[in-house]
Amino acid sequence: MRKIVVVGNGMVGYKFCEKLMASPDRENFQVQVFGEEPSPAYDRVHLSEYFSEKGKNELLLAPRSWYEDNGIELRTSSLISEINTEKKEVVTYKGEKVSYEYLVIATGSSAFVPPIKGSEKTGVFVYRTTEDLDAIKTYAKKLQKKYKSKATVLGGGLLGLEAANAAKELGLETSVVEFAPRLMPRQLDEAGSNTLIGKIESLGIKILTNKATSKISGEEEIDALTFSDGSRHETDMLIISAGIRPRDELAKSSGLKTGERGGIFVNNKMETSAKDVYAIGEAALYNNAIYGLVAPGYNMAEVAVSQICGGDKTMAAHIDMSTQLKLIGTDVASFGDPFIENEEISAITYENKQSGIYKRINVSRDGKKLLGGILVGDASDYQNLFQIYINGMKLPENPEDLILGSRGGENTAMGSVTDLPDTAQICSCEAISKGDICKPLESGECCSMDDVVTKTKASTGCGGCKPMVTDLFNATMKSLGKEVKEVICEHFDFNRQEIFDLVKINKVQDFDEALNLFGKGHGCEKCKPVLASIFASITMETANKQVTIQDSNDKFLANIQRNGTYSIVPRIPGGEITPDKLMTIGAVAKKFDLYTKITGGQRIDLFGAELHQLPEIWKELIDAGFESGHAYGKSLRTVKSCVGSTWCRFGMHESVSFAIQIEERYRGLRSPHKLKGGVSGCIRECAEARGKDFGIIAVESGWNLYVCGNGGATPKHAILLAEGLDDETTIKYLDRFLMYYIRTAAPLMRTAPWLEKLDGGIEHLKKVVIEDSLGIAEDLEKEMQGLITNYECEWKQAIEDPEMMKRFKHFVNSDEGDDNISYVPLRDQKMPRAWT
Amino acid sequence: MQELLAQYQSVAAPEVIKWVNVGKAIDFPENGGACIKYKNKQIAVFNFTRESHWYACQNLCPHKLEMVLSRGMIGDKEGIPKVACPMHKKTFSLKDGNNLNGEDYKIAVYPVKIESENVYIGFID
Ligand code: SRM
Ligand SMILES: Cc1cc2nc3c(=O)[nH]c(=O)nc-3n(C[C@H](O)[C@H](O)[C@H](O)COP(=O)(O)OP(=O)(O)OC[C@H]3O[C@@H](n4cnc5c(N)ncnc54)[C@H](O)[C@@H]3O)c2cc1C
Ligand code: SF4
Ligand code: FES
């Protein structure tokens, strides 16, 4: 047994262990790892998610038990303070000596804090570790209690923008200060930066460029920055993100060769100047550079493993620095050499100021090679362009088609994934090539997308290559003549449409029967709600009938909230409400001490009801003439409307009346995903109808009907289906459209992605709905009418039946409520205490 | 918060010191869950009718420390009976309390027995 000591348990140090464990020579080595941080290695690339949804455990690259199971001795909270390369031993901060045969230094880097006066003040942070983030979060909370909320990020690079977004998400009023004249100066040109500034400012983050910070002021706590031009910028908090410095202090003091500007010198075998000592990751100085990205670090880990095991892998001479920014709401990518300008090159650019898109590609003069480029505002072509660049693939006849799309023909300029060479690198974080993904599929070793991901780890890093891995998977399976079947889960070998038909044709009554007839096992949280939705879409049964297969919200006919309490949204069709009903809502909210808010869907949400209070509250609402708003269901939500010709001087038709008619027609209708509608009284479109699954807009000649739009995570405008319709035809088309969607969409697929997948797209849909090309129009209308006739308010049903009411007790054996719930005051109302 | 979690430790059937009657079997939904109170503990009880088996575990989800697991959906993963938290759908084995999404969370599980139509849960306190 030969002993390897690894100093640093960050992303790259971990990758070294992982690669070594996978090596056939693993048995020859004993491994001991020292990490300075208290927790085992975690995913720093997704550090920002630590603020939003992910806890520490979810960010871990592997749980502590993984190290144990693999016989690796991991010591966290253990700084190594000295290396003795003569005696081949390291010394811990406690003075304990540990000998090694091979030493791997993976100490990473630390945030660079420029020498600005005042940087020691309270309220100044860096952004590198989970501890940094904890400190930032705690401080932000403290500020908010004092009604302070200004945060500033120093540095407008990749990390700085990410930190700014995180600060904004914490509810802080955020600015970014950049020394250079543009944002992401290493990746973007001026036009690209300008487009990005527009995008980011529209997210509510202020950008200041060309500002050199000369002083940080404040008594104890920071209160402002002063710039070299004399101007002042007030702030309550500062996050410094001005670059990284390799952590070479340990190596340097131990006599290893380091670079003038920092970094542990290594050759292409990752060997340092001392025998049997390797350095990898952000601490290593390779080709005279430090690479602040994880992919080259992973590569180095692989090389070091190979070298130590007697293999011959070496680092490539050229390191690719292409990147994609993970900021939510902004697409930015840059690849290859984004800037080159000389006679040999022609740069092709496309700019659309209105929609905030800028694209640039640098193409060799002979039109044969793609050398680099920039994408801002729309980076959907990044993976394809990157593949063409990195593999030196042939360009289309008109290279501009690459960023403009080919105009005229049906084919895209990109070609297909199957054209890529086997060596094409698909996942750069894990260095996985096309061959790595396709071969195990061809040999039968892998059969599903999950298998591929588990085996290769492709797309588990930044996730940017996921669409391409999926495409490759699908294309390979197809070429093997295997049908890629989307099945619901391990219990049903069918897709939603097939189960829909099976349930309907066989008149299946309940979930157990379906499982016995067409499935196996006992079901799960994936198939149960899908079947619940199918039963409802066929028979209009309410969520009271098969309670235990309903999804979290449907089960209790209310939306579960942060603290396990529920919210209540009565239906307010078209947003129209009488003063009396408004007063009822007020009175109920007051009586039960509920937080009250106007929703984005033109109605009122009452939050903070405990499970056992729900029936009482609903009883009062129902007595006053309200009914369920189905805000909890994958079902019709609201049909939003503008005031229309009832009051508006521009209104062409009565949009409110029509919206109410439609909302009442489809209320309670369960569907693969939620459904929203809108009716606007004229093309000014105050109801935002084109942002809905169906939108109706009044024009001189009648109604224009648009379908398949949504807001949400991937906004899409609805597309015109038919023009100048009367009320009756509009409803007829809507019936057909909705029922066709309900029959055929995949689970949790809204109308827009459904249309995108529908063979023939909108033209096909028009034929089915308007011309009845499939001959099913009558069936669709009949089915819809059946559902409409069978509608019942499920809340009314529930409170009238003692058996159904049983489920609204918190305890079976006590009438008490949940004593774990607690609130904090908020602007004269209340909110749940924060999650820890 | 840690104290809240520390209250819940798995109990194996042979260790049981006290079997507590927590209600009538018919008060628990078939193939679903409900919650009971014992001293200051909240316990989720599942009547897994398809398996003809009952399970009990802490009601507290270790993810965000909310008392919600009894309101989750049950089912199986490759034969292992499980519950999915209604909040973020993390899933836990009802047999040994292990997280089935490969994360470090764990919940405490308790033995259940049915005698003359009453449900009993085994505790050691
Ligand atoms: C309450 C409300 C926010 C508000 O305070 O205004 C809200 C709250 C929630 N929305 Fe929403 N959405 C609300 C209007 C909207 C709107 C605006 C609108 O309808 O005009 C949108 C964008 C429009 C759209 O849907 O296309 C919207 C897009 C989403 C999405 C993203 C959907 C997508 O296709 O990308 C989700 C996630 C989902 O459904 O999977 C979501 C999911 C949720 C859920 C239900 C998340 C959940 O499952 O717990 C939130 C529940 C809070 C609760 O329990 O009440 N909410 N949500 C609004 C309720 C409207 C109502 O009266 O029913
Ligand atoms: C917010 C953020 C976002 C990022 N986003 C991306 C991205 O989108 N794409 C991308 O490619 N990269 C990204 N990165 C960079 C990426 O995280 C790093 O490239 C990667 O973490 C480098 O790994 P490493 O192991 O070399 O260093 P680290 O992950 O920093 O690990 C080094 C570890 O060694 C420990 N250590 C140091 N000295 C000692 C010692 N003497 N004894 C014991 N332990 C020691 C440190 O405490 C640390 O835990 C991001 C970084 C941050 C901070
Ligand atoms: S209400 Fe909607 S947008 Fe707001 S946090 Fe919840 S899901 Fe997200
Ligand atoms: S609270 Fe249970 S999964 Fe998040």
**Tens of pLDDT along A768-810?**
999 999 999 999 999 999 999 999 999 999 999 988 888 999 9
Q: CA angle, B47 as apex, B44 and B53 as ends, to 5°? A: 115
Q: Kindly state the percentage of chain B with pLDDT values over 70.
A: 98
Residues A678 and A793 placed together within one structural domain of the fold: yes
DSSP A205-240: -EEE-S--EEEEE-SSB--EEEETTS-EEE-SEEEE
User: Of A738, A741, A768, A766, whose CA–CA distance to A753 is shortest?
Assistant: A741
* Strand partners for A131: none
Residues A326 and A435 placed together within one structural domain of the fold: no
CA-to-CA separations, A553 to A71, A568, B87, in angstroms, rounded: 44, 11, 9
A539 has a pLDDT exceeding 50? yes
* pLDDT at residue A410 in the model: 41
Give the CATH number for residue A760.
Answer: 3.30.413.10
Instruction: Answer whether A623 touches B (CB < 8 Å).
Output: no
* pLDDT at residue A428 in the model: 78
Confidence of residue B1 (pLDDT cuts 50, 70, 90): low
Rg from Cα positions in chain A: 30
Q: Which residues of B touch A525 (CB under 8 A)?
A: 72-73, 75, 84, 89, 91
How far is A525 from B58, CA to CA, in rounded Å? Answer: 19
CA-to-CA separations, A751 to A55, A547, A637, A771, in angstroms, rounded: 33, 27, 14, 20
* pLDDT at residue A225 in the model: 95
Q: Which residues of A touch B65 (CB under 8 A)?
A: 820, 835-836
Report the separation in Å between the CA atom of A634 and the middle of ligand 1, taken as the mean of its atom positions: 11
How far is A438 from A470, CA to CA, in rounded Å? Answer: 11
Residues A103 and A251 placed together within one structural domain of the fold: yes
User: What is the atom index within ligand 4 of the atom nearest the CA of B69?
Assistant: 2
Q: Hey, are the CB atoms on B87 and A549 less than 8 Å from each other?
A: no
Of A73-77, A110-114, A214-218, A391-395, the one with minimum mean pLDDT is A391-395
Residues A753 and A672 placed together within one structural domain of the fold: yes
**What is the pLDDT averaged over residues A180-189?**
89
How far is A274 from B77, CA to CA, in rounded Å? Answer: 51
Nearest to B37 among A556, A813, A836 (CB): A813
User: Of A421, A397, A417, whose CA–CA distance to A409 is shortest?
Assistant: A397
pLDDT tens digits for range A631-687: 999 999 999 999 999 999 999 999 999 999 999 999 999 999 999 999 999 999 999
Q: What is the mean pLDDT of chain A?
A: 91
Residue A90 lies in a domain: yes
Q: CA quadruple B56, B60, B63, B69: dihedral positive or negative?
A: positive
Residues A236 and A287 placed together within one structural domain of the fold: no
Give the CATH number for residue B43.
Answer: 2.102.10.10
**What is the pLDDT averaged over residues A307-311?**
95
User: What is the atom index within ligand 1 of the atom nearest the CA of A602?
Assistant: 62
ipTM above 0.90, yes or no: no
User: What is the atom index within ligand 2 of the atom nearest the CA of A11?
Assistant: 25
Which structural domain range is residue B103 located in?
1-123
End-to-end CA distance of chain B: 21
The beta-carbon contacts of A56-59 under 8 Å, at least 24 apart in sequence, are A56/A130, A57/B103, A57/B104, A57/B105, A58/B103, A59/A130
Number of domains in chain B: 1
* pLDDT at residue A203 in the model: 83
* pLDDT at residue A522 in the model: 95
Instruction: Answer whether A58 touches B (CB < 8 Å).
Output: yes
Query: A496-515: buried (b, 16+ CB within 10 Å) or exposed (e) per residue?
Result: bebbbebbbeeebeebbebb
Question: Where does A519-654 show beta strands of DSSP type E?
Answer: 559-560, 566-568, 595-598, 604-609, 636-641
pLDDT tens digits for range A613-630: 999 999 999 999 999 999
* pLDDT at residue A415 in the model: 58
The beta-carbon contacts of A194-197 under 8 Å, at least 24 apart in sequence, are A194/A358, A195/A351, A195/A353, A195/A356, A195/A357, A195/A358, A195/A376, A195/A377, A196/A330, A196/A332, A196/A358, A196/A376, A196/A377
**What is the pLDDT averaged over residues A192-203?**
89
Nearest to B29 among A529, A807, A818 (CB): A807
Instruction: Answer whether A822 touches B (CB < 8 Å).
Output: no
- Here the tokens at position A27 are 């048995």
Q: Which ligand is nearest to the CA of A601?
A: 1
Residue A583 lies in a domain: no
Confidence of residue A460 (pLDDT cuts 50, 70, 90): confident
- Here the tokens at position A428 are 């750069």
Report the separation in Å between the CA atom of B83 and the middle of ligand 3, taken as the mean of its atom positions: 25
Q: CA angle, A221 as apex, A220 and A222 as ends, to 5°? A: 125
Q: Hey, are the CB atoms on A521 and B75 less than 8 Å from each other?
A: yes
Residue B41 Cβ contacting ligand 4 at under 6 Å: no
Inter-residue contact B91 to B85 (CB < 8 Å): yes
- Here the tokens at position A486 are 């989307």
In the block, tokens 């009952």 appear at B54
* pLDDT at residue A144 in the model: 87
**What is the pLDDT averaged over residues A277-282?**
98
For ligand 4, mutation pick of B5, B73, B83, B85 (most atoms within 8 Å of CB): B85
Residues A118 and A215 placed together within one structural domain of the fold: yes
CA-to-CA separations, A545 to A554, A555, A798, B75, B107, in angstroms, rounded: 11, 10, 10, 19, 30
**What is the pLDDT averaged over residues A148-166?**
92
pLDDT tens digits for range A401-432: 888 765 544 444 555 677 788 888 888 778 88
Q: Which ligand is nearest to the CA of A715?
A: 1
Distance from CA of B111 to the nearest CA of A (A): 18
- Here the tokens at position A666 are 């489809």
Q: Kindly state the percentage of chain A with pLDDT values over 70.
A: 98
pLDDT tens digits for range A675-718: 999 999 999 999 999 999 999 999 999 999 999 999 988 889 99
Instruction: Determine phi and psi for A8, rounding to 5 degrees.
Output: 105, 120
Is A648 part of any known ligand binding site?
Answer: yes
Number of domains in chain A: 6
**What is the pLDDT averaged over residues B8-34?**
94
Which structural domain range is residue A517 located in?
496-550
Please give the helix or strand (H or E) that residue B57 lies within, else none: strand B53-58
Q: Kindly state the percentage of chain A with pLDDT values over 90.
A: 70
Q: Which ligand is nearest to the CA of A752?
A: 1
Residue A252 lies in a domain: yes
Residue A791, burial from CB neighbour count under 10 angstroms (0-12, 13-18, 19+)? middle
Single-letter code of the amino acid located at B121: I
How far is A582 from A590, CA to CA, in rounded Å? Answer: 12
**What is the pLDDT averaged over residues B9-14?**
93
Question: Where does A486-615 show beta strands of DSSP type E?
Answer: 559-560, 566-568, 595-598, 604-609
Confidence of residue A475 (pLDDT cuts 50, 70, 90): confident
Distance from CA of B105 to the nearest CA of A (A): 8
For ligand 4, mutation pick of B5, B42, B60, B64 (most atoms within 8 Å of CB): B64
Choosing from A211, A242, A273, the residue where a domain stops is: A242
Q: CA quadruple B49, B50, B53, B57: dihedral positive or negative?
A: negative
Instruction: Pick from A349-353, B61-65, B107-111 the range whose average pLDDT is largest.
Output: B107-111
Inter-residue contact B8 to B60 (CB < 8 Å): yes
* pLDDT at residue A408 in the model: 46
Single-letter code of the amino acid located at A706: Y
Inter-residue contact A178 to A207 (CB < 8 Å): yes
User: Of A520, A449, A428, whose CA–CA distance to A437 is shortest?
Assistant: A449
**What is the pLDDT averaged over residues A326-334?**
76
Residues A671 and A766 placed together within one structural domain of the fold: yes
Residues A132 and A234 placed together within one structural domain of the fold: yes
Interface of B with A in 63-92 (CB under 8 A): 63-68, 71-79, 81-82, 84, 86-89, 91
Distance from CA of A57 to the nearest CA of B (A): 6
* pLDDT at residue A416 in the model: 66
pLDDT tens digits for range B46-96: 999 999 999 999 999 999 999 999 999 999 999 999 999 999 999 999 999
Residue A70 lies in a domain: yes
Inter-residue contact B84 to B75 (CB < 8 Å): yes
Residue B64 Cβ contacting ligand 4 at under 6 Å: yes
Rg from Cα positions in chain B: 13
How far is A471 from A458, CA to CA, in rounded Å? Answer: 13
Report the separation in Å between the CA atom of A163 and the middle of ligand 1, taken as the mean of its atom positions: 26
Residues A696 and A777 placed together within one structural domain of the fold: yes
Residues A455 and A529 placed together within one structural domain of the fold: no
Nearest to B27 among A812, A816, A836 (CB): A812
A80 has a pLDDT exceeding 60? yes
Report the 10 Å Cβ neighbour count for B18. 11
Give the CATH number for residue A168.
Answer: 3.50.50.60
* pLDDT at residue A818 in the model: 86
User: Of A719, A712, A661, A663, whose CA–CA distance to A690 is shortest?
Assistant: A719
* pLDDT at residue A299 in the model: 93
- Here the tokens at position A49 are 């998610």
